[in-house]
Amino acid sequence: MRVLVVDHPLVAHKLTVLRDKNTPSPVFRQLTEELVTLLAYEATREVRVEQVAIETPVTATTGTGLVKPTPLVVPILRAGLGMLEGMTRLLPTAEVGFLGMARNEETLEAITYAERLPDDLTGRQVYVLDPMLATGGTLIEAIRFLFDRGAADITCICLLAAPEGLAKLRAAHEGNNVHVVLASIDEGLNENAYIVPGLGDAGDRLYGVVD
């Protein structure tokens, strides 16, 4: 498993505004999309391509095209949905599948409550969108699920991670073809498994509180 923290002043700036508790939902949503596009630029560095023949208005030449099967983007519901637009802006031909996962707030274990994905992911490059890598439970399960369906390699795009969650993810998927791209590794988790300093509940910040 490889981890990349994207070191760029615009990433740091947008993340700072996201962290601010006074940033309202519409701005939070807009900035999340912009930040994901910047992270996606790095995360797609190894997207599979091939040489293609084209004709410019001037001459014949060769260029670069994405190979089939096209990459699959999988936002983890609910908060990952806020990252989808920023990702597909960069990779508009990607297919999108959905995985609904939530953590049980008492046991902190991840449960899958919805799934809409191709049955066979053999050979597919998969990009998983989940803003907060906190305990790691959700991503560990999501990655297992996608490898079980045949995914070739999995890149997780997150806004933030806690070192504890990253360590658990590494222990679960060391040696697997997993790449994590994120904007920051924060200090740690508090007693409620929130990332500190973090940005709060990403789903609530994006979409408001739903009881």
Binding site for ligand URA (CB under 6 A): 79, 132, 134, 194-195, 198, 201-203
Nearer residue to ligand URA within complex by CB, 32 or 44: 32
- CA–CA–CA angle 118, 120, 123 (5° rounding): 115
Rounded to whole angstroms, the Cα distance separating 182 from 3 reads 8
**Shortest distance in whole angstroms from residue 160 CB to ligand URA:** 7
Q: Which residues contact 9 (CB under 8 A, 6 or more apart)?
A: none
Nearer residue to ligand URA within complex by CB, 72 or 181: 181
Q: Out of 107, 119, 148, 211, which one is annotated catalytic? A: 107
Nearer residue to ligand URA within complex by CB, 151 or 180: 180
19 catalytic? Reply is no
Q: Out of 19, 29, 103, 170, which one is annotated catalytic? A: 103
**Shortest distance in whole angstroms from residue 79 CB to ligand URA:** 6
Rounded to whole angstroms, the Cα distance separating 84 from 97 reads 11
**Shortest distance in whole angstroms from residue 133 CB to ligand URA:** 8
Nearer residue to ligand URA within complex by CB, 151 or 162: 162
78 catalytic? Reply is no
**Shortest distance in whole angstroms from residue 209 CB to ligand URA:** 12
Active site residues: 103, 107, 201, 204
